[in-house]
Structure 1
Amino acid sequence: MDKIKLNGMMFYGYHGLFPEENKLGQRFTVDLELMLDLSSSGKTDNMDDSIDYGQAYEVAQAVVEGEAYNLVEAVAETLAEEMFRAFSILEAIKITIDKPGPPIPGYYQSVAVEIERERPYGLS
């Protein structure tokens, strides 16, 4: 399947279980793989046959910088739902949300959640 990839988008959100995460917030890095048939847009050179990268960025920004969630898993699931609503030609999506330096003991760069979803039946 063809893919459009948006890599390393950075947003500031207030997601987490701990009060300091909800109050202070932190950076989140988001990677998207948007899966769809790009043969039409490749032939027509027409944006109407593809997904506008800027609009996809705006959807991601609205979710990650919007309502606070306890779990990054919930952020990813909401983002998948919003992407399917925004783009009727989107067939499947892979989302990775990276949370650098969460407030848990140990030494590591980050934790991340990755989900893959297909267009829900009946959602067009």
Structure 2
Amino acid sequence: MGIIRVNNIRIYTNHGCLEEEAKIGSEYRVDIEVQADLQKSAESDALADTVDYVHLNKIAKEEMAIRSKLLEHVAKRILDRIFNEIPLVEEGTISVSKINPPIGGNVEEVVIVLKDVRKS
């Protein structure tokens, strides 16, 4: 088993429950970690034998572009697509961070983390 991480995917979009968040938007960060059997790709040196991190980045960007009220919802959509589109992935962890959230205080970010495993 091996780990592939795609860290600090920066996206400006409009998630949130407040009407202002829908209009103005804000900056988000997505971090993806997947676990998969990487032995074959380590030997073959072939992209077809591994988890393509370009594909992971594409999924994150596309799902983040769809407005959600809750970060949990968008993170679950990202995880679901990873499992649906990349059969090699056995486990995944998604972190979605809202940078400078409008919560009435000096808060750098709020982060939600969802983790899941492939269902048989």
TM bin, normalised by shorter chain, reads over 0.9
Q: What is the correspondence of 1:1-124 to structure 2 with a 5 Å cutoff?
A: 1-65=1-65, 67-121=66-120
- Comparing both structures, which one devotes a greater share of its residues to strand? 2
State the Cα RMSD in Å: 0.9
Distance 1:21 1:83 in 2: 27
Superimposed CA distance per residue, residues 63-118 of structure 1 (whole angstroms, 9 cap, x where no aligned partner): 011x2111001010111001111101110101111101111111121100011110
Instruction: Supply the AA of the counterpart residue of 1:85.
Output: N
| Uncovered stretches (5+) of structure 1, i.e. residues with no partner | none
Offset, 1:120 = 2.4
> How many residues of Structure 1 are paired with residues of Structure 2 in the alignment?
120
Q: Percent identity?
A: 29
SS of 1:40's partner is helix
| Uncovered stretches (5+) of structure 2, i.e. residues with no partner | none
Structure 1 segments, 4+ long, off by >3 Å, are none
SS of 1:91's partner is strand
SS of 1:80's partner is helix
